Every structure is written in structure tokens, then in C-alpha cells.
Amino acid sequence: MAGTLLLGAVAYDPKVVTIWDGFRVWLRTQDLDLDYVLYSNYERQAEDLVSGRIDVAWNSPLAWVRARRLAQARDIPLRPVTMRDTDCDLTSVVVVRADSDVQELADLRGRTVATGAVDSPQATLLPLHLLRSVGLDPGTDVAVRRFDIGVGLHGDHVGGERDAALALAAGEVDAACMIDGNSLLFAREGVLPPGARVVGQTPVYDHCTMTAGPSADPRLVDRFGELLLGMSYADPELRPLLDLEGLKEWRPPRLEGFSQLERAVDGAGFYDDSGRVRARDYRP
């Protein structure tokens, strides 16, 4: 198939090179000429997608929200292509120590909550939105101690969440926010104190999504989506790459899973409706 599809991905970890090198080799054997560029942060990737500098972007949920707003403001169509099985139906939780007198989120009034980085959907934006939903204004009713690790990576770097959990274990904060999977991981690692309790949980939301922009040849995007959806975990050549990327299968995209984050972004004033960055202390 003629033409090259140029994909953007954020280099949140060295394995990203292994993953996209591997996928590139495999896709080329399937007659799809894919190339990729790596970004140091999601904001530039979202801007470049909408500007047509790259054809498709492997977007974080927050990058999807930003790209959608940027595109809508310019009346540019975006096309969701695919997402991972592990991107569907995630939740974030607010955790306290076993001996805490906090029984429910409302009890956190006047207390300190640890979060991940400023731009982490799962460990900051969504859990703080959860607090707002029970009438607690972060920064006013609840003090927020943020752990800004990997700013610009939209929470892909787990360091902020881990530091939040460590602060909880050390007794420095009253609660910590994290994605459900990391609450299991940190409990297994002993980072969370024994018997840590979940006192709040967000509704389910979706995570990363592959998005095609205005410069992409629709036929190449069709083929790309078709090939990703056809990847089998039974294929020994692909399985190590799928394991690295953290999925068992690609799934058709869906957009309803991002509405909660859209509201959280508005609630925090993170981006405006046109996709401009409004968070004052955000420097990706």
C-alpha cells in the first residue's frame, strides 16, 4: 500500500522504542509503511496531530481531550482508531491508612490528600474531580500535596503515584490517590501500608486511544486499524510487544469513556474549550 503513515508516541519509558520498532517491523511485513516519531510530552504531540505534522497519535486520555478541543476549535475532524483492552473501564481510588478515622470522602475535609503529577488523569485530575463531586474543593476544603514526577507525560510515569503512596505510608498525608491497578501493585510491593483502605472510587473511565488527524490518508488509517485489531496474542512474534505495551488485544475505539475526564478538566480549569492550556502551574 503506497504512502507512509507517521505515528507520534510519547517516550515515557525506553521500552517505547522497542515497542514501536517492533510494531513498525511487523506492520511493514503486512504492507503498511509505518514510521514513528517520539515526543517528550503529550502537549506537543496533541498540537502536532491537529496541525497535521503527524498522521496518528498514540494519545493519553488527557491528550485525547486536548486534541479534541483543539480540533473542534479549528473545525478539524479527528478519527479515533483503536484502543487497548486494558484502556477500558478503569477506576481511580482514594486510599487511607488502616488506622485512619476517615471512613468516607467527606471526612477528608480539612485534611491533606496526596496526588500524582499535575497532569495525571488517573492520580490527580479524576480523583480530585471525585472530591468535588462530594462537595470538597481541592485546595480549599482539602489540602493537596502533589507529586510532580514526569510532568508532561500525563501520568504515564508511575513515580508520582508511588510517591503519593509513600507519603501516605509515612504519615505525611491523610489520603493518597492512584489508579486501581496501582493500588494493587503498591499493596503487593509493600509501598502502601498494610490494611490500607479504599474510601472513594471514581466511576469507570477509559484510558489511551489511538487518534488519526487531518493529514492521515484514510486508506492507510483503515489498514492500520484493521492490522492492529487483527493482532493476536497467540502470535509469538507479537506477544512480547503486546506484553510490553500492556494489552492482550486491541479493541474498536469508543468515546463515551472520556466524558468524566472532560468534566474533570473543566472542573480543574486545566484546558479551556479551545484546548489552550490554562493550568497555571503546568510546565510540560
The phi, psi pair for 92, rounded to 5°, reads: -115, 155
Which of 47-55, 139-147, 164-172, 226-234 is the region at the interface with another protein (rule: CB under 8 A)?
Answer: 226-234
How far is it, in rounded angstroms, from Cα 94 to Cα 128? 9
Tell me the C-alpha distance between 214 and 85, whole Å: 26
Site string for another protein, 77-106 (x = CB under 8 A): --------xx-xxxx-x-------------
Taking the least distance from each CB to another protein, the nearer of 128 and 242 is: 242
Q: Measured from the CB of residue 229, what is the shortest distance to another protein in angstroms?
A: 15
- Cell 496501582 found at: 182
> Can you give 44-102 as a three-state secondary structure string?
HHHHHHHHCCCCEEEECHHHHHHHHHHHHHCCCCCEEEEEEHHHCCECEEEEECCCCCC
According to the binding rule CB under 8 A, does residue 248 interact with another protein? yes
**Cell numbers of 95, please?**
486510599
Q: Give the strand order in the sheet containing 197-201.
A: 143-146, 112-115, 175-179, 92-96, 197-201
CB-nearer residue toward another protein: 84 or 154: 84
Q: Minimum CB separation from another protein for residue 90, in Å?
A: 7
Q: How far is the CB of 242 from another protein (least distance, A)?
A: 9
| Residue 22 found at the interface with another protein (CB under 8 A) | no
Task: Pick the closer one to another protein by CB: 198 or 255.
Answer: 198
The region of 45-53, 104-112, 179-187, 208-216 touching another protein under the rule CB under 8 A is: 179-187
- 24, 79, 145, 197: residue in contact with another protein (rule CB under 8 A): 197
The grid coordinates of residue 64 equal 485525547
